[in-house]
């Protein structure tokens, strides 16, 4: 997605350790006009799938997910990283983040996932993909179907993309695929 790649080149900052800082337009300060264009692109890429619900994970996935839910007029569920006191029965899965070097539980109320649901997962970054595998586990526990996953930015030099694309019957779409990140230099894969 050219608009997004141009914005990453203009406003993103490549930090040591393969981290891309995008906190002035995606995950701290947010640009809603860009976010709308991102959601329109997700609509285009997933239009042929019979999705009835969108799932994401707090915090940074919520903005693109709600924008997409608005366009498709579908409910959006965000998976929580801390167990709320008021939550009754829930599905729980453990995630180890290599990026953040910590292990945490993610949870979602049993009320909001059912075997009839065809789900699309949306998130801001795909790195090693462990958050995505945690979501897949929650969806499988509920008996729902996870049909696709859409990411704003994929770091294709990490393993997540390869691991997720090996899953059967799963559409994976990333709007900007980053081949390499050196300090002050971002290079994209040619095809997206
Ligand atoms: P992992 O297995 O290596 O942890 O990778 P995963 O794809 O599951 O991403 C885990 C978290 O790390 C995500 O945040 C993702 O947004 C963040 N992340 C990964 N690479 C980068 C990067 O280069 N830049 C930035 N800014 N974030 C990155 P999260 O756990 O969902 O938390 P939140 O930040 O959305 O609250």
Average pLDDT for residues 48-76, to the nearest whole number?
98
Q: Is the CB of 30 under 6 A from ligand 1?
A: no
**CA dihedral for 106, 98, 168, 75, sign (positive or negative):** positive
Distance CA 181, CA 133 (A): 24
pLDDT of residue 87: 81
Alpha-carbon dihedral angle through residues 133, 174, 127, 145, given to the nearest 10 degrees: 0
- For residues 13 and 24, the answer to whether their CB atoms sit within 8 Å is no
pLDDT of residue 35: 98
Atom of ligand 1 nearest to the CA of 100: 4
Q: Is the CB of 70 under 6 A from ligand 1?
A: no
Class of the domain covering 2-188: alpha beta
Q: How many whole angstroms from 14 Cα to the centroid of ligand 1? A: 14
To test the pocket of ligand 1, the residue of 26, 82, 97 to mutate (highest count of ligand atoms within 8 Å of its CB) is 97
State the pLDDT confidence band at 156, using cuts at 50, 70 and 90. Answer: very high
State the pLDDT confidence band at 191, using cuts at 50, 70 and 90. Answer: low
pLDDT tens profile 20-55: 999 999 999 999 999 999 999 999 999 999 999 999
Q: Is the CB of 60 under 6 A from ligand 1?
A: yes
pLDDT at 100 > cutoff 90: no
pLDDT at 192 > cutoff 60: no
Round the average pLDDT of the chain to a whole number and report it.
Answer: 96
Q: How many whole angstroms from 120 Cα to the centroid of ligand 1? A: 18
Residues 6+ apart with CB under 8 A from 11: 22, 24, 25
**3-class secondary-structure state, position 184:** coil
**Higher-scoring residue by pLDDT: 88, 186:** 186
pLDDT of residue 169: 94
Residue 119, CA distances (Å) to 56, 133, 155, 186, 187 in order: 10, 14, 23, 32, 31
Q: Is the CB of 109 under 6 A from ligand 1?
A: no
Average pLDDT for residues 100-124, to the nearest whole number?
96
Q: What percent of the chain has pLDDT over 90?
A: 91
């Amino acid at each position: 997605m050219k608009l997004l790649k141009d914005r990453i080149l203009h406003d993103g900052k490549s930090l040591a350790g393969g981290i891309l800082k995008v906190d002035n337009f995606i995950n701290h300060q947010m640009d809603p006009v860009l976010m709308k264009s991102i959601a329109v692109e997700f609509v285009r890429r997933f239009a042929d799938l019979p999705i009835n619900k969108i799932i994401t994970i707090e915090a940074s996935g919520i903005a693109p997910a709600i924008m997409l839910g608005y366009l498709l007029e579908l409910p959006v569920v965000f998976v929580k990283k801390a167990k709320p006191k008021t939550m009754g029965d829930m599905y729980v899965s453990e995630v180890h983040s290599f990026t953040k070097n910590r292990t945490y539980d993610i949870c979602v109320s049993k009320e909001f996932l059912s075997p009839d649901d065809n789900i699309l997962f949306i998130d801001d970054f795909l790195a090693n993909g462990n958050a995505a595998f945690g979501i897949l586990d929650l969806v499988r526990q509920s008996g729902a179907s996870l049909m696709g996953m859409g990411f704003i930015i994929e770091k294709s030099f990490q393993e997540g993309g390869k691991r997720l694309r090996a899953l059967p019957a799963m559409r994976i779409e990333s709007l900007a695929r980053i081949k390499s990140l050196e300090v002050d230099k971002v290079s994209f894969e040619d095809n997206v």
